Amino acid sequence: MLHDMTKGSVRGHVVRMTMFMLAGFVIQTLYSLIDIYWVGRLGKAAVAAVALSTNLMFVSLALTQSLSVGCVALVSQAAGRKDEAEVQRLFNQAQSLSFFAGVLFLSVALATMRTYAERLSGDAETARLAREFLVWFIPALGLQFTMIALASALRGIGDMKPGLVAQLASVLGNMALAPFLIFGWGTGKPLGVAGAAISTFVATLGAVFGLSLYLARAGTYLRLRLSLLRPHLSSWRKMVSIGLPSGAEFLLMSVTMGFVYVVVKPFGSPAQAGYGIGSRVFQAGIMPAVAMSFGVAAVAGQNFGSGHHARVRAVFREAGKLIAVLMIAFTVLCQLAAAKLVRPFSADPIVLDVAADYVRTVSFVYVFSGLVLVCAGVFQGVGNTVPSLIASAVRVVAFVGSVLVASRRPDFTLRFIWIASVATVVLQVCIAVWLLRVQLAENTGPERLAAPDAT
């Protein structure tokens, strides 16, 4: 079903899309939290090994984001113009591109898995467990390319329900399967960290299969057609050119996380495990802003494609107000209950102290990170993601530079890393908001059509 978001309340469309996306991201976040929860029963080395996968996951997200952003921008703009033939063509091109990219990622990641685990692990045992986990987790990430391409096209036309149902089914399957494989319940053959990864792989495979069956039914708006799947390099280039800067942003996040693991490495595996737990708890809290960013991209894209430029500006205003309120609430929660939020994921007091200190300190950045993500969503909707990348790049350079300088001091502590993260995100949001104002002033001129009520 095509949902026309060029009419009616902008705030209503933003809230509807955000709620669907948030439900999906909550489900996705449960994947990582479930792994950490069960693996935490295996010891701190196992937790650190699974936490190392977060960095590789961001590499995968960087690549899938490059595909997703371009797909959403082009599909939503075509939907806003009511060009159904172009919507169908772009949908099929996204699927062929995702298959090619997924196979390429899978090949490179498996080939470099051993080096990756050994370079980032704090000790030999963590490296061994990381290899056991990654040998199954990497194929699960490879399947995400197809999953993201299917869900992104559906998001572009405003149809969120099928993707949400597929994600819900997969996380429930993962929740049910994980403890049986990790601890050997019923089989007597515990697989440890490998069991956590296998359950994720099976659940993701089931979600992809379910979405494919949905799209194969008669009467669905988006249809897979062999004649449209043949690669058109011009379409691929257009998608990638729009999405690549956003993908590069995720890659910068991956580089930053890898850098933090390296800097934290001298503090030992408890510090790496604590950072891994704390960062995942923080990611859970930022999910509403990530969801709103993805929802904003589709709403802004349809209105930009239809020429409703005042509504594009209204999207940023409404989303900014909503996310500020939500992020303030999460900041208060982290300040009052940081220790309780991390307690379920480890029994090691050192690990928990590191994780709680990270969550408590970094929570001050929630509002600023939320506004950065809203800016990114509007940039994606109008099809120009370079300004968002510029803001992220400045932040990464400032963060890495300041931490490198401080790490040479004898009084260097983990808390300095957390504080530097907060300070540099404040710098990032100032740059992003300024660049967005310039973007909207230049690229949203006179109205092509009379804009309906924006609120």
pLDDT in tens, 187-215: 788 888 888 889 889 988 988 888 888 87
pLDDT in tens, 351-361: 899 999 999 99
pLDDT in tens, 25-71: 666 666 666 667 777 788 878 888 887 776 777 778 778 878 888 88
- Is residue 393 in a domain? yes
| Residue type for position 434 | W
- Is residue 277 in a domain? yes
Burial of 177 (0-12, 13-18, 19+ CB in 10 A): middle
Confidence of residue 449 (pLDDT cuts 50, 70, 90): very low
pLDDT at 454: 47
Confidence of residue 362 (pLDDT cuts 50, 70, 90): very high
Task: From 247, 243, 391, 377, select the one nearest 312 (Cα to Cα).
Answer: 377
Residue with tokens 């100032």: 430
* Contacts (Cβ under 8 Å, ≥6 apart) of 163: 24, 150, 151, 154, 155, 211
pLDDT at 446: 46
pLDDT at 453: 47
pLDDT at 267: 85
pLDDT at 364: 93
**How many CA within 13 A on the CB side of residue 109?**
25
Residue 250 has pLDDT above 60, yes or no: yes
pLDDT at 24: 66
- Is residue 253 in a domain? yes
Mean pLDDT of 339-368: 90
pLDDT at 135: 92
Separation of alpha carbons 279 and 377, rounded Å: 22
H/E stretch holding 261? helix 233-264
In the chain, the percentage of residues whose pLDDT exceeds 70 is 91
Residue 25 or residue 315, greater confidence: 315
**How many CA within 13 A on the CB side of residue 300?**
31
Residue 78 has pLDDT above 80, yes or no: yes
- Is residue 455 in a domain? no
- Is residue 132 in a domain? yes
- Is residue 51 in a domain? yes
Task: From 63, 39, 41, select the one nearest 52 (Cα to Cα).
Answer: 39
- Enter the pTM of the model: 0.68
pLDDT at 27: 67
Domain of 47? Answer: 10-443
Confidence of residue 178 (pLDDT cuts 50, 70, 90): confident
Structure tokens at 149: 């391409």
Structure tokens at 438: 């310039």
Residue 399 has pLDDT above 80, yes or no: yes
- Is residue 227 in a domain? yes
pLDDT at 34: 66
Mean pLDDT of 366-376: 92
The domain total for the chain is 1
